[in-house]
């Protein structure tokens, strides 16, 4: 197996429609007053489909349809609306979701089972079907190869900027493109969030391996972020692989598979971190790394507990290096922690070791003044290691979520 750390790739400075064979766009269909609220991504030919969904037991109507499509493993179009989650809307909501799929399929001239739906926005409201019917007709006629940025803007809710990426890598002697877009700013964690992410590639790969690669990449990216510890009903990550790169089909976990997986992880990690950086009201991007835990599971438990601690997050906002809150969160995380072995550092400055504070008070001044913070927790118990990305919790977060419904 080649050294995957040396896999070379190019940044195309694009998004989901940078991939050959894909077009897209985003329009306003009237769900929102004036902003884009309907996105469409279309592949010239049916593509292999892989997807990962929320683990919330309460799932929105489009998530249920998406799960059905994943079982078939094929799709040709992604239809996404923002401003309305179509969650907790009963049988009418399910029928409405299926109707939008049928309208889209008819307008595109493809089978309904090739249209993958997704929604994000306010829970409990029925979709405005009269507006969507007209919007779907309009958006199909607006598709363009360079329309990915418009689509990325149309899926936003409380996001303050679009999130997209496209990379090129050589696989099997062919140039392969991976493009993507995502939305998310709040209700981020656990196991994805009120976030949507859609990816495209022209790689020729079997559906089972595409699903395995996506699941692996999601576990190491979207499942390692948290803004507020709130889990949504609509979380979806999906990828379409249309095979137009014409590489020999990847059917085994050979070097070509791992080259693809390596770059796919880069794409998903970039999008995941963009979501954290755009966390509702966030002023700081925070990486929490737990080292030498007894197991990987313990490392992840400790990292997530610290990342989700409201006391830690507000201390970060207040630029108070309160290591006591970090110690407390590690202790209640459920992972194995021994106080006399625990070491904590912030931005390389050791604060706690051997059960005591080791930093001098003057060394703590301005330690959290920068926009990017790294908290390192060394448990000194084993080989387990995990990283989680989060942000601080500010006054603005409360304001945004207090006013979101209106």
Q: Show which residues are catalytic.
A: 194
The answer to whether residues 249 and 205 touch, using CB atoms and an 8 Å cutoff, is yes
Angle between the N-to-C axes of helices 207-219 and 255-277, in degrees from 0 to 180, rounded to the nearest 10: 40
Omega into 219 within 30° of 0, i.e. cis?
Answer: no
The answer to whether residues 344 and 326 touch, using CB atoms and an 8 Å cutoff, is yes
* Cα dist from 118 to 45, 79, 130, 327, whole Å: 20, 6, 18, 40
Sorted by sequence, the CB contacts under 8 Å of residue 216 that are 6+ apart come out as: 261, 265
The answer to whether residues 178 and 199 touch, using CB atoms and an 8 Å cutoff, is yes
Q: Residues of 162-177 as b/e, b for ≥16 C-beta within 10 angstroms?
A: bbbbbbbbbbbebebb
In sequence order, the β-bridge partners of residue 170 are 175
Structure tokens at 164: 């997209």
Structure tokens at 274: 């963009």
The answer to whether residues 160 and 278 touch, using CB atoms and an 8 Å cutoff, is yes
Taking alpha carbons only, the member of 339, 377, 369 closest to residue 356 is 339
* Cα dist from 160 to 153, 180, 196, whole Å: 10, 18, 15
SS3 213: helix
């Amino acid at each position: 197996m080649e050294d995957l750390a040396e896999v070379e790739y190019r940044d195309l400075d694009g998004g989901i429609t940078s991939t050959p064979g894909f077009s897209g766009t985003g329009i306003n269909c009237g769900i929102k007053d004036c902003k884009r609220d309907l996105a469409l991504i279309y592949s010239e030919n049916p593509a292999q489909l892989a997807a990962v969904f929320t683990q919330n037991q309460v799932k929105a109507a489009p998530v249920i349809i998406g799960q059905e499509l994943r079982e078939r493993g094929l799709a040709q179009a992604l239809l996404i609306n923002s401003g309305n989650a179509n969650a907790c809307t009963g049988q009418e909501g399910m029928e409405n979701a299926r109707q939008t799929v049928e309208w889209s399929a008819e307008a595109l001239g493809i089978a309904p089972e090739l249209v993958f739906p997704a929604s994000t926005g306010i829970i409990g409201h029925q979709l405005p079907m009269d507006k969507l019917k007209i919007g779907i007709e309009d958006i199909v006629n607006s598709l363009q190869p360079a329309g990915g940025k418009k689509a990325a803007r149309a899926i936003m809710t409380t996001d303050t900027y679009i999130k997209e990426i496209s990379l090129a890598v050589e696989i099997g002697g062919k140039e392969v493109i991976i493009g993507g877009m995502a939305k998310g700013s709040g209700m981020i964690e656990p196991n994805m969030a009120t976030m949507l992410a859609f990816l495209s590639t022209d790689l020729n790969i079997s559906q089972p391996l595409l699903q395995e690669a996506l699941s692996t990449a999601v576990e190491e990216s979207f499942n390692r972020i948290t803004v507020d510890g709130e889990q949504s009903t609509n979380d979806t990550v999906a990828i379409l692989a249309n095979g137009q790169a014409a590489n020999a089909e990847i059917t085994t976990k050979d070097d070509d598979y791992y080259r693809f997986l390596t770059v796919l992880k880069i794409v998903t990690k970039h999008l995941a971190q963009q979501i954290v950086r755009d966390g509702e009201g966030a002023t700081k991007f925070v990486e929490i790394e737990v080292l030498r835990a007894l197991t990987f599971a313990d490392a992840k438990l400790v990292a997530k507990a610290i990342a989700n601690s409201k006391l830690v997050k507000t201390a970060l906002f207040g630029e108070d290096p309160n290591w006591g809150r970090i110690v407390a969160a590690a202790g209640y995380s459920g992972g194995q922690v021994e106080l006399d072995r625990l070491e904590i550092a912030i931005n390389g400055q050791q604060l706690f070791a051997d059960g005591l504070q080791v930093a001098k008070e003057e060394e703590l001044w301005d330690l959290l003044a920068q926009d990017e913070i790294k908290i390192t927790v060394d448990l000194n118990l084993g080989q387990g290691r995990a990283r989680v990305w989060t942000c601080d919790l500010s006054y603005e977060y409360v304001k945004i979520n207090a006013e979101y419904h209106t």
